Amino acid sequence: MNYELVCGLETHVELATKTKIFCSCTTQFGGEPNTHCCPICIGLPGTLPKLNRAVVEYAVMAGLATNCEISAVSKMDRKNYVYPDLPKAYQISQYDMPLCKNGYVELSDGRKIRLTRIHIEEDAGKLVHQHGDTFIDYNRGGVPLIEIVSEPDIRSIDEAVEYMQKLQMIMRYIGVSDCKMQEGSLRCDVNVSVRPKGSDKLGTRTEIKNMNSFSHMTKALKYETERQIDILESGEKVVQETRRYNETTGCTEGMRGKEDADDYRYFREPDLVTISVPEETVNKIKAKMPEPYQQRLDRFINEYGLPEKDAQMLVERRRIADYFEAAAKGTKKPRTAANCITGQIFARLGSDDEKNDFDVKVTPENLNALIKLFDSGKIRMNLLKATLEKMLDTGRPAADFISEKDLAGIDAEALEKVCEKAVAANQGAVADYKNGKEKALKALLGAVMKETRGRANPQEAEKMLISLIK
């Protein structure tokens, strides 16, 4: 029998606010254990939470970016469970009145993965297991989260990965989170079931907790899908449960029976008031949001004449897209600015984190000035590239590295002497060119451009070389 995967994801995104959701403690990653805490974070009796307004604003932005309806009225609830990382023995979350609902994320093939809801909640602390002991770090406790809950619309592992990558890109692009999976800023619980292909009945699902890398998610989904198919083929029933992925064995392992909503005994949080987000507020937030990703991508392709692949690399990270537009402003060929960024600048930014931070010494204004020198014909491409390398090293403007002599170009008489020298010094290339090897001329031209530090006009130099050889 052929089976198909049925998958839905519950994705947790840490919001990039400066302070926590219910107190003024920092949300900065790292720090000595239990130093980013206060009586509210650790749930001391008598403390009262106060909702961070920026958390609501960021959640509304996330909802708008994923085509959700924004609830005019929502509320916070208590989700009760006992675990060491939760000092209050309850988590403040949202249950029946989430802030955002009924959205979708569109995949590359046009399929829409429906979103049931996006709600806000507080993160729990972190358990650290060392040498048989367990320690608790509450620095992460109270960091604001949004939970994005999809419908079980995903039908393959590739779709699950693309969906997560799309969410990561969207949240980074609008600036609500850095989505660094290695720091826990983006992680998901994966709900998995299988059913006979063609059936419309949902199978019994299991939940794989805390997936924090695309690689692990891929391996866990593959293993769990095959495990459930083996169980059904053996005539047995899949048990609804919560599982974890073991990186060492490459298997998923049972943790506990799967909880339902009733197990958490949700009730309204009595210490927080109702959340009101009127249409006027939604419109103000919408007006502050960046140009939608797809719209900006189309504009980069159509307005700037960029290849789709280059446009995607620039638009994927808003900071880079903004840098490109400033660097390309008023230039004859915006593609030159794009090539400088995706070529020389990206070569110095090895990791995704470095590209996300995009901390480069060259300002977009200085790059713009360099490109305009190229546009005017005062410098050639090889001098542009050499100058950009020096600018990237030092942060200084192009004027510090390009002399008046560089800008003056080279006259016909001087060019002829350089070409004669190149021909005399490269008789092998001359012979190859005479024997029909057109590429040999490039070696001669390279010698001319090197001698003139890029000041020679390559078209004129090429004509002169040909006339000298013949």
**Range of 193's domain?**
3-282
pLDDT in tens, 110-153: 999 999 999 999 999 998 888 889 999 999 999 999 999 999 99
Same domain, 191 and 338: no
- Are 77 and 184 in the same domain? yes
Domain boundary among 408, 430, 452: 408
Number of domains in the chain: 3
- d(CA 11, CA 210) in angstroms, rounded, equals 9
Cβ contact 368:330 at 8 Å: yes
Task: Look at residue 408 and tell me whether its pLDDT is greater than 60.
Answer: no
Tokens of 122: 């507080």
Average pLDDT over residues 170-196: 93
Q: Note the pLDDT of residue 149.
A: 98
Strands (E), 94-143: 100-106, 112-122, 126-130, 133-137
The 10s digit of each residue's pLDDT in 76-122 is 999 998 889 999 999 999 999 999 999 999 999 999 999 999 999 99
Instruction: Tell me what the pLDDT averaged over the chain comes to.
Output: 91
Q: Predicted confidence band at 52 (pLDDT cuts at 50, 70, 90)?
A: very high
Instruction: Describe the crossing of helices 427-434 and 412-425 by its angle, rounded to 10 degrees.
Output: 90
Together in a domain, 180 and 266: yes
- The verdict on 187 and 308 lying in the same domain is no
CATH of the domain at 426: 1.10.10.410
pLDDT at 404 (0 to 100): 64
pLDDT in tens, 213-252: 999 999 999 999 999 999 999 999 999 999 999 999 999 9
Predicted pLDDT of residue 380: 81
Could you tell me if 51 and 144 lie in one domain? yes
- Letter string b/e over residues 43-58, b meaning 16 or more CB atoms within 10 A of that residue's CB: beeeeebebbebbbbb
Do 202 and 307 have their domain in common?
no
Q: Which of 232, 256, 282 is the last residue of a domain?
A: 282
Closest by CA to 397, choosing from 363, 373, 371, is 363
- pLDDT score of 365 more than 60: yes
Looking at the fold, whether 309 and 231 belong to one and the same domain comes out as no
Whether 265 has a pLDDT exceeding 80, the answer reads yes
Instruction: Give the pLDDT band of residue 255 (cuts 50, 70, 90).
Output: confident
Predicted confidence band at 261 (pLDDT cuts at 50, 70, 90)?
A: low
SS3 content of the chain, % helix, strand, coil (to 5): 40, 20, 35
Q: Are residues 299 and 354 in the same domain?
A: yes
Considering the domain architecture, whether residues 219 and 78 belong to the same structural domain is answered as yes
Residue 74 has pLDDT above 60, yes or no: yes
What is the average pLDDT across 47-63?
97
How high is the pLDDT of residue 406? Answer: 63
Last residue of a domain, one of 391, 408, 425: 408
Q: Are residues 73 and 134 in the same domain?
A: yes
Average pLDDT over residues 291-316: 94
Looking at residue 259, its pLDDT comes to 63
| Single pTM value for the model | 0.82
pLDDT at 407 over 80: no
Could you tell me if 358 and 450 lie in one domain?
no
Residues 76, 140 within the same domain: yes
- In this predicted structure, the answer to whether residue 66 has a pLDDT above a threshold of 90 is yes
